[in-house]
Amino acid sequence: MVDADQTFVIVGGGLAGAKAAETLRSEGFTGRVILIGDERDHPYERPPLSKGYLLGKEERDTVFVHEPAWYAQADVELHLGQTVVSVDRAAKAVHLGDRAVIHYDKLLLATGAEPRRLDVPGTGLVGVHHLRRLAHADRLRQVLTGLGRDNGHLVIAGAGWIGLEVAAAARTYGAEVTVVEPETTPLHAVLGPELGQMFTDLHAEHGVRFHFGATLTEITGQDGMVLAARTDDGEEHPAHDVLAAIGAAPRTGLAESAGLEIADRAHGGGVVVDGSLRTSDPDIYAAGDVAAVHHPLYGTRLRVEHWANALNGGPAAARAMLGQDVAYDRVPYFFSDQYDVGLEYSGWAPPGSYDQVVVRGDAGKREFVAFWLSEGRVLAGMNVNVWDVTDTIQKLIRTGARPPAESLSDPSVPLESLLG
């Protein structure tokens, strides 16, 4: 039973936390809602940081989840620039870096993830960057503008989504770009080798150079500034700046020190939660990048780092905190924009989980839908410059559909007809 005397605390000032606070109010909760974020900026969405905002196409104010005045209007107590240093489960309290103590009845951990760091000499040089926070994007916009103006070189470690989106932005500014990637194709961990070549070709056409099968071993510099990036095969790439885009790690420190159950690395790490996003403590929940939830469609525990998971997970956790019956089983979803290619991906099909990739449309023209299948069952789908098909793709995944491959690959066969 939830009453007006209760206090719900949300740790994490990102999209998941902000949407959870919004949902608590929209569902009628009249108790205290306290949202604590360690950044000084109001809660914002992260996709623009490597897309529209980084490209200079979107203004800074457009990235925020709510107008700043919304928090006071909704009676959400906002603590910005504050770090939670510990959770005392016995006392049901969080301790802040300024020694303040806030008691809770329910607690939501929406602490997100942090960029993985390059463990090589030279990372302390000026000109080594990460992209996770708004302040990072502010700085990187300035860097790309300067590189484009001066014909400067950017080396990117990692050909994942962030690496490729920044590569596209950098080339749009006019910078020289080299991407170093240990796999043989971009996006290998998500798409496998079958679709990676398309992204290699796309970026190569725009002047990006790839160095596959290699990892950075050292960043060299002069007078404290980046000069070059060396790889384990003896190559040296000139660089004025280096971006580390080698993935993100869940920020589980608070949960671990509080003794909450943590998933193993094989399942992405993260805080273990049940289908209602409740942790091993019945009064503590987790949502967004930090949560590892058992997904009934795939029969395994998943930690999903993408925008849609924060957008939907925060509200789901809020409803569960209010005592509502919640079963969080959203089909994973993300989107990307690179040059003139826009895409949406639904599902989960890492290498080893599928035995067939079926393409509908013209991959050469980058206007197609790809499906990843296991014994005929649709595990995931990606639409590239083809729109208004995501709902159908997700239904194919959710229903466990096993349409004939020849029908799945035939654009003349309506996708909806394959739902059975």
Contacts of 253 (CB under 8 A, 6+ apart): none
**CATH homologous superfamily for 128-246?**
FAD/NAD(P)-binding domain (3.50.50.60)
pLDDT band at 3 (very low <50, low <70, confident <90, very high): confident
Q: Alpha carbon of 231 to those of 188, 219, 235: distances in Å? A: 19, 9, 5
Task: Report the DSSP pairing between strands 101-103 and 93-96.
Answer: antiparallel
Helices in 6-45 by DSSP H: which ranges? 15-26
> 266-319: per-residue pLDDT in tens?
888 999 999 999 999 999 999 999 999 999 889 889 999 999 999 999 999 999
> 32-58: per-residue pLDDT in tens?
999 999 999 999 999 999 999 999 999
- CATH of the domain spanning 340-419, picked from 3.50.50.60, 3.30.390.30, 3.90.180.10, 3.30.2320.80: 3.30.390.30
Alpha-carbon torsion, ordered 275, 280, 282, 284, to 10 deg: -90
> 82-132: per-residue pLDDT in tens?
999 999 999 999 999 999 999 999 999 999 999 999 999 999 999 999 999
Same fold, 7-114+249-321 and 340-419: no
Q: Which DSSP letter does residue 117 get?
A: P
Please report the pLDDT score of residue 193 as a whole number: 87
Contacts made by residues 371-375, CB under 8 angstroms, sequence distance 24+: 371/396, 371/408, 372/192, 372/347, 373/405, 374/349, 375/402
**3 state SS of 143:** helix
Number of H helices, E strands in the chain: 11, 26
User: What is the average pLDDT value for the chain, to the nearest integer?
Assistant: 96
**3 state SS of 66:** coil
**What DSSP element (H or E) covers 165?**
helix 161-173
Please report the pLDDT score of residue 297 as a whole number: 87
98 sits in the region (left: phi over 0; alpha: psi -120 to 50; else beta) called alpha
Alpha-carbon torsion, ordered 385, 390, 395, 396, to 10 deg: 10
Please report the pLDDT score of residue 1 as a whole number: 56
- CATH of the domain spanning 7-114+249-321, picked from 2.40.50.100, 2.130.10.30, 3.50.50.60, 3.40.50.300: 3.50.50.60
What residue has token string 């150079």?
209
> 230-256: per-residue pLDDT in tens?
999 999 999 999 999 999 999 999 999
- What average pLDDT does range 338-354 have in this prediction? 95
Please report the pLDDT score of residue 360 as a whole number: 97
Phi, psi of 405 (to 5 degrees): -60, -35
| Nearest Cα residue to 308 out of 346, 252, 353 | 346
Predicted structure pTM score: 0.95
**Contact in structure between 335 and 345 (CB atoms under 8 Å):** yes
Distance CA 165, CA 398 (A): 29
> 177-202: per-residue pLDDT in tens?
999 999 999 999 899 888 999 999 99
**Contact in structure between 339 and 206 (CB atoms under 8 Å):** yes
Q: Map out the domains of the chain as residue ranges.
A: 7-114+249-321, 128-246, 340-419
**3 state SS of 395:** helix
* Tokens standing for residue 374: 């296991």
Distance CA 11, CA 104 (A): 11
Distance CA 144, CA 54 (A): 9
Helices in 223-263 by DSSP H: which ranges? 253-257
* C-alpha Rg value of the chain to the nearest Å: 22
Distance CA 350, CA 193 (A): 10
**What DSSP element (H or E) covers 69?**
helix 68-73
